[in-house]
Amino acid sequence: MDEMESRNERPAGSAGQMPDFIVGKVTVRPAHSLLCTSRTERRIEPKVMDVLCRLAQEPGEVVARPTLIEEIWQVEHGADESLTRAISLLRKTFLELDPNALYIRTVPRRGYSLVAEVAPAGEDGATVSEPAFPDRRLSVLQYALGIAAIAVLAGLMALLVIRREPVTDPAPTTPSVAVLPFQAFGSDADLAYFAEGIGEEVLNIVSHADALKVAGGTSSLPRSDGMITRAEIGEYLGVDHLLEGSVRSNGEELRISAQLTEISDNRQIWSTTYRTDRSALESPRLQRNIAMRIAGALSIALGFQDQNTLPGTDTDSLEAYEAYLRGREYQTWLGADRYAAMNSFQRAVDLDPNYASAVTELASITGDLAWEAASAQEARSLQEDGRALAQRALALNPDLAMAHTMLGVYQAAAGEWDASAESFEQALSLSQDPRILMNYALMLARTGTLREARIRAEAALDLEPGHPGRASTYAIIMTDLGLYADARRTLDEVRSETGDLPISAALDWILAMHGEIAAEDVRRLTEAYVAAAPETALLLNRILDVLDEPEAALAILSEAASAQRMDFPAQREVMATLAAWYGDDALALELWRDELAGTNLRMLRLWGPRFAGMRKLPGFTQLVSDLGLPAYWEDNGWPDACRPSGDSFRCK
């Protein structure tokens, strides 16, 4: 059997038997598991090479997922995740070697296609970028050998063509689309402006995708009697798909619709309608959010997923993506219907078990629930569940930035500070998403590294100004730095745009208690806190009854400190803050020790000005040592409030 025919019938794992070949601008050396260019090379795993070689046997053709699993892994269970990971690694490696070309295309609900041109390599395996002509200085023998080599290569190519029956069309061209201006139905000028903005946002987002041809100049389309067909638009602009959209106002409801059509058969590939309150027209983020969702669906439908730029696009299922988007809609900061969000994300995973982004969001929600747990034991259990979900997401998709982020969150929760920082840096190498930046800021703030935390938090707010959750975290970091006026101004700006924050009373209390505050203001803010969060009443109403009697108030706090149960999640943090306000730093330290023995969720408040006296106590040195912080500080720099002193350190 000749060499090319044996490749088509090779057993799994036999990629090393294939001769070197060229894909696009990359030389593939199966025997060495290498992908090379003239400047660099990348080694890949043998199974990943097997996948590439199998796709290369039928360049331009769709190879079904079941076929790849059966031929390469030859197992019934577990290989599905391995294949997804292999494709992801191949895409990442090709992107590193040739960032301006598409090599592997996902065909939704079918499989994968190697769309770059495939050709045999030269004798030395090098990529040839120019036509090869014999050097005039070559000997006759060398020239003859060169001609013979070319003849052999031609014969190999002929055998490949003969083996691939029937002869297929050339590899598909890059998908193309025209984004038409979104239409506003109604006389409202704001509606027209809003519709125009969405279309422009979508066009701006997808124009940056290297794997998609995006037509410009739609404003100059030729029209006959004011009408033009989709086919005429496609022919004029040289595209095979059209994205159209509209905005309608129905009373107080705003409806934004979009649809993607394949021009050749006028077939609607995808459509959706987003509904929101008309008042959302004033939101500075609404246009961008909707445009990102539309662009994401477009990327999935046309097979150019960009998971770290367009969140949630690491799936082939548009139905799963729609479930993911519904989950994100529910998942608003602290005003969320978290269980509805979890149901939507779980639905997305049910539709696509390999959907790492949906698994990552399940990990995120699980972490949010830990903040509200009624006991430290429950919080720890939720954190363990969330970490397992983050690890599962990374196993499904090692290149997903948000999965690295969530692992970093849970590593920090376990006190694995160096590992957490590495996870966040890995995430940021893949994406500068504001969620990543703010989660990193939160991790840094817990370690007391407040100035660096501020830099990360400000970067997140620059990317997404006015976001209530990120502004609140930023305000706490600024308060810890003693910049209470700046923190207050940030929150006031957000409130002026979005109305009151979901936990305004608690946030106002926390921030104000770290500054110079009179007893009457403590009473006012505490009463507001109780009114907004009735679960705090059992403790705080008792304190309010004796607010002007420090000894009586401290006795209540000391008594409550011995209680094992939690009447509300932030109880010990609140108690510690009151103890420090009354001047009992030792009681505040005892309460913090109990709090942090359960979880370190609220640890960033440890560094606020109110606890400056507590941080000077010897017991505080032991507390942060038990938390594993000194080793992290020695590797990454000392925090703002602590410095080495002899064989130990001191804090202020």
In DSSP terms, which residues pair with 253 in a beta bridge? 250, 277
Q: Report the greatest alpha carbon distance in the chain.
A: 107
What residue type is 308 in one-letter code?
Answer: N
Contact 541, 528 (CB under 8 A): no
Q: Identify the segments of the chain with pLDDT beneath 50.
A: 1-13, 108, 124-171, 224, 333-334
| Cis check: omega of the bond before 166, within 30 degrees of 0 | yes
First to last CA, the chain: 79
Query: How many residues would you count in the chain?
Result: 652
Q: Establish how many alpha carbons lie within 13 A of residue 156's alpha carbon, considering only the half-sphere containing its beta carbon.
A: 20
DSSP state, 116? S
Q: How far is CA 322 from CA 143, 271, 328, 337, 344, in A?
A: 61, 10, 10, 17, 9
Q: How far is CA 327 from CA 363, 382, 518, in A?
A: 13, 19, 44
Contact 466, 284 (CB under 8 A): yes
Query: What number of H helices and E strands is found in the chain?
Result: 27, 16
Which domains occur in the chain, in start order? 3-163 (1.10.10.10), 173-304 (3.40.50.10070), 503-651 (no CATH)
Contact 478, 486 (CB under 8 A): yes
* pLDDT value at residue 219: 52
Contacts of 405 (CB under 8 A, 6+ apart): 423, 424, 427, 433, 435, 436, 439, 440
Q: pTM, whole model, 2 decimals? A: 0.69
- B/e letters for 600-623, b = 16+ CB within 10 Å, e = fewer, are bbbbbbbbbbbbbbbbebeebbeb
* pLDDT value at residue 80: 66
Alpha helical stretches, state H, 127-274: 140-163, 189-206, 230-237
List the Cα angle 641/554/513 in 5-degree steps: 45
Contact 66, 109 (CB under 8 A): no
* pLDDT value at residue 344: 92
**Alpha carbon 533 to chain centroid, angstroms:** 32
* pLDDT value at residue 564: 64
User: What string of DSSP letters covers 435-484?
Assistant: HHHHHHHHHHHHTT-HHHHHHHHHHHHHHSTT-HHHHHHHHHHHHHTT-H
344 CB burial (10 A radius; 0-12, 13-18, 19+): buried
User: What string of DSSP letters covers 228-240?
Assistant: --HHHHHHHHT-S
**Alpha carbon 241 to chain centroid, angstroms:** 28
* pLDDT value at residue 499: 64
Per-residue pLDDT tens over the stretch 18-43 = 899 999 989 999 988 899 988 888 88
* pLDDT value at residue 221: 59
Question: E strand or H helix at 370, and its extent?
Answer: helix 356-371
Contact 311, 357 (CB under 8 A): yes
Q: How far apart are CA 233 and CA 243, in angstroms?
A: 11
* pLDDT value at residue 336: 60
* pLDDT value at residue 29: 92
What residue type is 238 in one-letter code?
Answer: G
* Percentage of the chain exceeding pLDDT 90: 37
What residue type is 315 in one-letter code?
Answer: T
Two tokens, residue 262 = 């394949």
Q: Which of 394, 399, 330 is nearest to 368 (CA)?
A: 330
Q: How far apart are CA 566 and CA 537, in angstroms?
A: 13
Q: Is 100 helix (H, G, I), strand (E, B) or coil?
A: coil
Q: Establish how many alpha carbons lie within 13 A of residue 297's alpha carbon, considering only the half-sphere containing its beta carbon.
A: 27
Contact 253, 214 (CB under 8 A): no
